[in-house]
Homo-oligomer: A and B are copies of this chain.
Amino acid sequence: MTQLQGLLDTEAIRKDFPILDRLVHDGKKIVYLDNAATSQKPRQVLDALNEYYERHNANVHRGVHVLAEEATALYEGARDKVAAFINAPSRDEVIFTKNASESLNLVANMLGWADEPYRVDRDTEIVITEMEHHSNIVPWQLLAQRTGAKLKWFGLTDDGRLDISNIDRVITEKTKIVSFVLVSNILGTVNPVEEIVRRAQDVGALVLIDASQAAPHMVLDVQSLGADFVAFTGHKMCGPTGIGVLWGRQELLEDLPPFLGGGEMIETVSMHSSTYAPAPHKFEAGTPPIAQAVGLGAAVDYLSSLGMDSIAAHEHAITEYAVKRLLEVPDLRIIGPGTAEDRGAAISFTLGDIHPHDVGQVLDEQGIAVRVGHHCARPVCLRYGIPATTRASFYLYSTPAEVDALIDGLEHVRNFFG
């Protein structure tokens, strides 16, 4: 084990995460390196969920009894916490969804049904990138099919970066929306926001940033990003499953049409017509994920108590160490940036011609949990001519010793299939 700079006190932190003591395969302590798929949950978040259900559970809004008022205060309080966490100018810009995928689909659908100047239809263009998660590809393919708009994208360089050399040809006067990932879940790449946002603004296109792999790991400031919409998901940032966020600029949320219709999102309903509540409620049809929002609020408190800068520094140190050690493994090829600069803590690789499924299986047998496959980013695999990758991804509780365990595990894989 090595002495790295800038690490968090993982010994203390790991006590907050009951699952990290889990033993698997005949008593091996789990080495959880699948954080880009989902994070584990600290005791503080589970306590918030239990406290909600055991003391305050009620449907929100519309209620005058104690429980309804408490549940509403907790739910709306979670919105305040999330708004502060991402430095939103207004709490009303924070919409709770079920996951990042819904957030992304929500924007695609709003634009499909919007009036001018936002409306995506025939003769307009949508821009994404080749490194998007399927959840930021398929909604746009569906929108393009259904409206006749053209779908365009930025390609990738050989070292796993976005190729924006042709930015003026990709983003044009016809572009209505540019949607791209801030940190890639497969390559780990951190993308250049400023340049893309500037070009989009020049041509009057809206910008949606998929921050699913950013929000858990770094300071996310929607104002300094300069985008119009930012999407992310609770379960990757110590929160429960079943909750996502869409942040959007207030004027846009006012102008754009609703997506799902139903209870909570209306102002007044008659059989003949309805009017809608102001944002965020306009976009939150039905009983919201109340407990999950409360849990996400607790997660945001937890992350803030550690400090997003400290978390980023910790992960940077771990990532730097992991990249260095992985590159020492014979026949290992990193898919994505080969250094820790401008990259997140997800590292994809191939190991000779051993299929990732087999790599993952043999690592699992040693208690090491990694993810294998195309990580919902199949175009990246196609781009690099590989069927799949093995991905190790770190988080605030990851330790150098776990990196060492991974390296030992890979040695074992090579022997097994050698």
Show the binding face of A for B, using Cβ within 8 Å: 18-19, 22, 24-25, 30, 32, 34, 37-38, 40-41, 46, 49-50, 53-59, 62-68, 98-102, 104-105, 108, 113, 130, 133-139, 141-142, 146, 151, 153, 233, 235, 240-244, 258, 260-266, 268-271, 273-274, 285-292, 357, 360-361, 363-364, 368-373, 376, 378-379, 382
Apart from the given pairs A137-B269, A241-B289, 8 other A-B contacts in the complex at a CB distance below 8 Å? A30-B66, A30-B67, A34-B63, A65-B370, A135-B286, A137-B261, A138-B285, A241-B288
Q: Lowest 7 A-B CB distances belong to which pairs?
A: A101-B286, A138-B261, A135-B262, A242-B289, A242-B242, A101-B262, A65-B369
Chain B residues, Cβ within 8 Å of A41: 53, 57
Chain B residues, Cβ within 8 Å of A258: 142
* Complexed CA–CA distance, A244 and B141 (Å): 26
Chain B residues, Cβ within 8 Å of A291: 240-242
* Complexed CA–CA distance, A142 and B285 (Å): 13
* Complexed CA–CA distance, A350 and B364 (Å): 62
State the Cβ distance, A259 to closest chain B Cβ, in Å: 8
Chain B residues, Cβ within 8 Å of A62: 37, 371, 373, 376
* Complexed CA–CA distance, A102 and B240 (Å): 19
Contact B286 A64 (CB under 8 A): no
Contact A65 B287 (CB under 8 A): no
* Complexed CA–CA distance, A58 and B41 (Å): 10
Contact B101 A135 (CB under 8 A): no
Contact B357 A64 (CB under 8 A): yes
Interface core residue of A146, A368, A369 (most chain B CB under 10 Å): A369
Among candidates B67, B286, B289, residue contacting A100 with C-beta atoms closer than 8 Å: B286
State the Cβ distance, A24 to closest chain B Cβ, in Å: 5
Interface core residue of A65, A138, A287, A357 (most chain B CB under 10 Å): A65
Contact B102 A287 (CB under 8 A): no
Interface core residue of A98, A136, A244 (most chain B CB under 10 Å): A98
* Complexed CA–CA distance, A92 and B67 (Å): 37
Among candidates B105, B290, B378, residue contacting A269 with C-beta atoms closer than 8 Å: B378
Among candidates B59, B146, B369, residue contacting A58 with C-beta atoms closer than 8 Å: B369
Contact B360 A18 (CB under 8 A): no
Contact B101 A19 (CB under 8 A): no
* Complexed CA–CA distance, A18 and B49 (Å): 13
Contact A241 B292 (CB under 8 A): yes
Among candidates B18, B139, B274, residue contacting A261 with C-beta atoms closer than 8 Å: B139
Chain B residues, Cβ within 8 Å of A270: 378-379, 382
* Complexed CA–CA distance, A105 and B137 (Å): 22
* Complexed CA–CA distance, A54 and B42 (Å): 9
A-B contact pairs, 22 of them (CB 8 A): A34-B59, A38-B59, A46-B54, A59-B235, A63-B372, A64-B357, A64-B364, A65-B369, A66-B369, A99-B287, A101-B260, A101-B285, A105-B285, A134-B263, A135-B263, A138-B261, A139-B260, A151-B271, A240-B242, A262-B376, A263-B376, A292-B292
Chain B residue nearest to A24 (CB atoms) is B66
State the Cβ distance, A242 to closest chain B Cβ, in Å: 4
* Complexed CA–CA distance, A42 and B109 (Å): 38
State the Cβ distance, A288 to closest chain B Cβ, in Å: 7
State the Cβ distance, A74 to closest chain B Cβ, in Å: 12
Contact B57 A38 (CB under 8 A): yes
Known: A137-B271, A378-B269. A146 touches B65 (CB 8 A): no
Chain B residues, Cβ within 8 Å of A25: 66
Chain B residues, Cβ within 8 Å of A290: 235, 241-242
Chain B residues, Cβ within 8 Å of A151: 271
Chain B residues, Cβ within 8 Å of A372: 63-64
